[in-house]
Amino acid sequence: MEALLYSLLAGVSTVLGAVVIMVFGRPGPRLLSGLLGFAAGVMLAISFFDLLPEALEFGSMPTAALGFLLGAGVMYALDRFIPHAHVSSSHEVALESIPRAQALRKEMLRVGYLVFFGLALHNLPEGLAIGAGLEVSPELGLYVAIAIALHNIPEGIAVSGILRAGGLSAARVLLLTLVIGLMTPLGAGLGLLFFRIAPVFIAVGLGFAAGAMTYIASDELIPQSNKLNSHISIGGLIVGLLVVFIMTG
């Protein structure tokens, strides 16, 4: 039950990003950079301070390494074959596209739907990561859920900005971001089924979560936050690492 609750809270944080767009408009690049850098630091710290050591406790080095490579590989495959939102580029494109012709609005809407589909698929393994953390302890599951929630808020900003630029109503944008968020508890539920079959799946699942979050941090969060503001990005990263170190120390 905790896995579904935590993953639901992490997933619906995508909606918070859409709410930010509806109420305040797009946040500035400095704020986004700090948030993305902080989320990256939290994800990396949880992966290497908690998830991988726990994977060794439940299994062995080969199973932990296998899970890590699977997690990174799945995220790579999703990025390679499924369109995905990047906060810095969508921030710029949406701002430039709103005043343009109707044809361009339709193209933005088409891109927005593709990004929606990509984010929905990306959220499945994130739910698995939360379930794997909860198999160790409620605290670790909560840390993973918070890290994923921090990651999902900027993604909600990105996808809702594109959809709004395409002319979609606020109500429909909120509904679509909610659907994206609900994919996270679905992933958590699927993961729990595997974890109940054999304990070795817990070790693989913990490694998988670490690999997936390391990939997200290194491929998406850090590069995107650096594009927005490199110094604030580094500051956010350091603070994120330090916060998790203090919390788990």
Residue 149 and residue 153: Cα distance in Å, rounded? 6
pLDDT in tens, 98-136: 444 466 567 667 666 766 776 776 777 778 778 878 877
pLDDT over threshold 90, residue 164: no
**Mean pLDDT of all residues belonging to the chain:** 79
pLDDT in tens, 20-73: 878 877 667 787 788 778 878 888 888 898 889 888 888 889 999 999 999 999
Instruction: State residue 64's pLDDT score.
Output: 92
How does DSSP classify residue 27? P
* Residue 25, phi-psi category: left (phi > 0), alpha (psi -120 to 50), beta (remainder): left
pLDDT over threshold 60, residue 97: no
Instruction: State residue 82's pLDDT score.
Output: 64
Instruction: State residue 114's pLDDT score.
Output: 64
Gyration radius from the chain CA atoms: 18
Instruction: State residue 28's pLDDT score.
Output: 73
pLDDT band at 9; cut points 50, 70, 90: confident
Q: In percent, how much of the chain has pLDDT > 90?
A: 11
Q: Both ends of the chain: CA-CA distance in Å?
A: 27
Instruction: State residue 70's pLDDT score.
Output: 93
pTM of this structure: 0.68
> Of 206, 204, 200, nearest to 51 (Cα)?
206
Instruction: State residue 85's pLDDT score.
Output: 53
